[in-house]
Each structure stands twice: as structure tokens, then as C-alpha cells.
């Protein structure tokens, strides 16, 4: 019976769940055992025939989670049980050399690195895909004037495409960040009990170098019994940072889908029910899911930072929680990406409502541009500011159109011609450098995807 939603399949893609399946974790660790033995045999630490046999058995697929659990029930040590299960399948003369010079965390930490590597291989292309989708939306809507809101209030005119461009640019930065951390988190460690490589002596670093190359990892420069947990904290932090950007997008979609705003809406498929009680509801449930999962993902950053300090060369204060946080953070980040990709692919944009919302304040959203026009006429900034504010507040009080209030005001109407006032109230005139910015972001995204995916 499943307890966690991840186990039940409610959250998590098949490809990401596979990376963290119990048997797959065992296979990663066996791969480390095989690579270490083979590397040792190639430089004369153990006989060549021994290294070949251990490598062959480690890759045979015959060592199962079921058998390891049986052995662990007796030894109460999961790595010892894995080594024993491997020994059972090897030749008698080979068995003394299995796990030679290694310790549990050589397998645990290096296999963690392998899982993080495979996890990012799934996540990174999806970040690139989402970046492109957002950039394409930015280009599509770059000429649509929309309400720009600050503090929840109408502030000024924005290109609706600029919203997507902001998100697209940050996704391209996440591609860079993911690429940058690889050299610090894809770490191979085979230096034994306290990080000296004691049983392998002077050849320990050469073994580690060979194992790292075989596994597609970076050899550790120095460790205790474990890889420094700063590396894991950086991995978790990067996923949480990515998740926070996805939540930022989700919150904007949720807000824009509010009944009063109605500028965008998540796709609502045939047969879908928005509420068990209210038949007309179309709730932004996917965006809300991302917001919820982001909170859980972000909370793991604290735990990963708490795991950095240890007693001496190591203790077990990190071990149990890392069995949760590394898989969970990877699975949640991937789930959120998948969900956001689907949201953006099928997002309904209500351009009519976007245009209507520009005039909810009866034209007061154009106040910034009125101020600019007065300043250009030579009126001191704060005098112009107070005059615009005075007329705007009076118009709001009387429920008047702002343009009519300006025309009736002797101070403002004396400074501006009819055609100048009309130009101020044309939203298409106020998109500024949006088009150039959006085009630049599109190029940035294309460059990042080409370089990092």
C-alpha cells in the first residue's frame, strides 16, 4: 500500500521515478563497485581476473533488492548486505577482494552523484523547452498593450508579451546555473574510511580518477568519509530556485485567471470538473499545484544546509533525511516543470479582456504619459505631478473619464493640444522598448538552448 503521493504515482514522471527506484539505486552502487574493482585491477592493486569478474557480476542484473533486504535483516547494514549479495554471485577466489579499500559512502555518495546526473539530464532539456515556449509566447503577444500592475494596482502600460519574456529569460539563466553546478555536484569518491585511500596507498587517487572517468563524474579533490554536503545543498538549492521561478509564473497565471481580471485561463478539457459543488467553476488547479509543491521543495533547502556540519570525519545525522530529500526534490522539480510546460502550451489568452482592462480606471492608467508630456512642455516635474494627481483624483471621485477631466481642466488643457491629448490615450504608443527587449530575449533563449541542452 502506497503512503506518499510520489509512491502512488500521483506526482512524478516515469522517467524521473525510475532514476530513484530502489533497484536502480542498487544498480548504481554495483556499478561503482565494479568500476572500482576493474580500475584497481588495471593498475596492479588486485589481480586482473578478479577485477573483470567483479565488474561482470556487478553488471549482470542478478543482485536484487529482495536478496539485499534479506541479508540486511541480519546485518542491519544496507551496504554490507549489498556487498554480501555481490559476493554470493562471484567466484570463491574473487570474494576476498570485493569492496577492497572502499567504505559504504564511496558507494552511497558516488551513486547519489550518478542519480543527480541522471536527474538533471531529464530536467535540463525541459527547462530549455519551457524557455522556448515562453519566448514564443512573448513574441506572439509583444504588440498587445496590457495593464502593468504594481502593489496589485494599475500602474502603467506593459506589453503583454513582456510578462512571458521575463519568465523566458530567467529560464535561460536556470539553464546556465544547472550547467555551472555540474562540476561541483557530479563527484566520484573512492577514498575509503576517512578519505585517505589508505588501503590503496599512493595509487588511490589514480583509482578514483579512473572510476570517475568510467562513470562520467569528476574525481573528488579531497573528502572525509563523505563528499562535502555543500555539494548536495547546492543541488537542492538550485532545484528550489527553479521551483520558485515556476511558482512565480504560476501565481501570475492564477491572478490573471481571477474572474475580475480574466486575461488568461488554464486549458479546461472536455469532461473536466472545476468543483464538486459549483458546475461553472474553472479553477487554475495546475498552477495551484505548482505553488503547493514549490513550498514543499523550498522547505528542503533548510534540511540540506543542516546536513553540512558533521562530527569529525562523519556521522549519520544526514543519512536518513537524504534518502528523502534528494529523490523528492528531483521528482518534485520535474513534476512542476512538466506541469508548467502543459500549462503554457495550452494557455488561453483573452486578448479582448486584456484590452478592456486597460480602461477599467477610465483612462487613469495613462497618467504616467500625461506627466511626461507636461514635463516636456517645460513644467517643473512636481508641479506637473500635483496637477495630474489633482485632476485624476477629482475625476475618480466624480466617476469621469480621465481624458474628459483633462480637457475640462484649464491648467492642463492650456498646455496640451487636442491631438497631443489623443496621442497620450493611445496604448500602442506606450510599449517603449518592449519589442526590442522581447526579440533580444528570444535570441538569448535560442543561444542558451543550443549551448546547454
Q: Over its length of 453 residues, how does the chain's per-residue pLDDT go in tens digits? A: 678 888 888 899 999 999 999 999 999 999 999 999 999 999 999 999 999 999 999 999 999 999 999 999 999 999 999 999 999 999 999 999 999 999 999 999 999 999 999 999 999 999 999 999 999 999 999 999 999 999 999 999 999 999 999 999 999 999 999 999 999 999 999 999 999 999 999 999 999 999 999 999 999 999 999 999 999 999 999 999 999 999 999 999 999 999 999 999 999 877 776 766 777 678 899 999 999 999 999 999 999 999 999 999 999 999 999 999 999 999 999 999 999 999 999 999 999 999 999 999 999 999 999 999 999 999 999 999 999 999 999 999 999 999 999 999 999 999 999 999 999 999 999 999 999 999 999 999 999 999 998
* Beta carbons within 8 Å of 296's beta carbon, 6+ residues apart: 328, 332
HSE, side-chain direction, 13 A CA sphere, residue 309: 2
Q: Strands 264-265 and 218-219: what pairing?
A: unpaired
Q: Is 145 helix (H, G, I), strand (E, B) or coil?
A: strand
In Å, what is the CA distance from 2 to each residue of 13, 17, 268?
A: 16, 14, 29
Residue 232, pLDDT score:
98
In Å, what is the CA distance from 37 to each residue of 30, 196, 212, 215?
A: 11, 18, 13, 13
Q: What are the φ/ψ torsions at residue 47 (nearest 5 degrees)?
A: -60, 145
C-alpha cell at 170: 530567467
User: E-assigned strands of 280-436?
Assistant: 348-349
Q: Distance between CA atoms of 263 and 316, rounded to whole angstroms?
A: 52
Q: What is the DSSP letter of 365?
A: G
HSE, side-chain direction, 13 A CA sphere, residue 430: 23
Residue 273, pLDDT score:
67
Q: Where in the sequence numbering do the catalytic residues fall?
A: 151, 275
What sign does the CA torsion over 30, 1, 120, 185 have? Answer: negative
pTM over 0.85: yes
The packing angle between helices 434-452 and 104-140, to 10°, is 150
With 0-12 CB in 10 A as exposed, 13-18 as middle and 19+ as buried, what is 1?
A: exposed
C-alpha cell at 199: 588501503
C-alpha cell at 344: 503554457
Q: Distance between CA atoms of 120 and 172, rounded to whole angstroms?
A: 15
Q: Distance between CA atoms of 364 and 358, rounded to whole angstroms?
A: 9
Residue with cell 519589442: 435
In terms of DSSP H, where are the helices of 202-229? 204-215
Element (H, E) at 265: strand 264-265
Q: Distance between CA atoms of 298 and 279, rounded to whole angstroms?
A: 34
Amino acid at each position: 500500500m502506497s503512503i506518499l503521493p510520489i509512491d502512488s504515482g500521483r506526482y512524478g514522471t516515469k522517467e524521473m521515478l525510475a532514476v530513484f527506484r530502489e533497484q536502480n539505486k542498487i544498480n548504481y552502487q554495483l556499478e561503482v563497485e565494479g568500476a572500482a574493482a576493474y580500475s584497481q585491477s588495471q593498475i596492479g592493486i588486485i589481480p586482473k581476473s578478479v577485477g573483470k569478474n567483479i565488474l561482470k557480476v556487478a553488471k549482470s542484473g542478478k543482485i536484487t533488492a529482495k536478496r539485499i533486504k534479506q541479508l540486511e535483516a541480519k546485518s542491519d547494514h544496507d551496504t554490507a548486505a549489498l556487498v554480501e549479495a555481490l559476493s554470493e554471485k562471484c567466484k570463491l577466489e574473487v570474494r576476498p577482494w570485493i569492496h577492497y579499500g572502499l567504505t559504504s559512502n564511496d558507494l552511497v555518495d558516488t551513486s547519489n552523484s550518478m542519480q543527480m546526473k541522471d536527474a538533471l539530464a531529464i530536467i535540463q532539456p525541459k527547462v530549455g523547452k519551457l524557455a522556448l515556449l515562453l519566448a514564443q509566447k512573448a513574441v506572439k503577444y509583444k504588440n498587445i498593450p496590457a495593464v502593468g500592475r504594481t502593489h496589485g494596482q494599475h500602474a502603467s502600460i506593459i506589453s503583454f508579451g513582456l510578462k512571458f519574456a521575463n519568465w523566458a529569460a530567467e529560464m535561460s539563466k536556470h539553464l546556465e546555473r544547472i550547467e555551472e553546478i555540474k562540476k561541483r555536484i557530479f563527484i566520484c569518491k573512492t577514498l575509503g574510511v576517512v578519505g585517505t585511500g589508505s588501503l590503496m596507498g599512493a595509487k588511490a587517487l589514480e583509482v578514483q580518477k579512473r572510476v570517475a572517468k568510467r562513470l562520467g563524474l569528476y574525481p573528488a579533490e579531497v573528502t572525509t568519509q563523505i563528499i562535502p554536503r555543500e555539494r548536495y545543498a547546492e543541488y537542492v538549492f538550485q532545484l528550489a530556485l527553479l521551483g520558485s521561478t515556476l511558482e512565480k509564473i504560476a501565481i501570475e497565471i492564477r491572478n490573471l485567471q481571477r474572474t475580475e481580471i480574466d486575461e488568461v485561463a488554464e486549458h479546461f478539457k472536455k469532461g473536466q470538473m472545476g468543483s464538486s459543488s459549483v458546475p461553472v467553476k474553472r479553477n487554475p488547479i495546475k498552477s495551484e499545484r505548482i505553488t503547493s509543491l514549490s513550498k514543499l521543495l523550498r522547505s528542503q533547502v533548510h534540511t540540506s544546509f543542516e546536513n553540512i556540519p558533521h562530527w569529525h570525519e562523519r556521522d549519520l545525522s544526514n543519512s536518513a533525511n537524504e534518502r528523502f530529500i534528494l529523490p523528492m526534490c528531483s521528482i518534485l522539480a520535474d513534476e512542476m516543470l512538466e506541469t508548467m510546460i502543459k500549462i503554457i502550451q495550452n494557455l488561453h489568452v483573452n486578448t479582448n479582456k486584456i484590452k478592456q482592462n486597460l480602461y477599467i480606471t477610465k483612462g487613469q492608467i495613462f497618467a504616467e504619459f500625461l506627466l511626461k508630456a507636461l514635463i516636456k512642455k517645460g513644467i517643473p516635474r512636481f508641479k506637473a505631478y500635483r496637477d495630474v494627481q489633482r485632476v485624476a483624483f477629482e475625476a475618480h471621485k466624480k466617476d469621469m473619464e480621465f481624458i474628459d477631466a483633462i480637457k475640462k481642466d484649464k491648467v492642463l488643457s492650456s498646455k496640451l493640444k487636442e491631438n497631443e491629448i489623443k496621442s497620450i490615450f493611445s496604448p500602442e504608443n506606450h510599449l517603449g522598448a518592449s519589442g526590442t527587449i522581447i526579440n533580444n530575449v528570444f535570441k538569448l533563449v535560442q543561444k542558451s538552448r543550443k549551448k546547454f541542452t
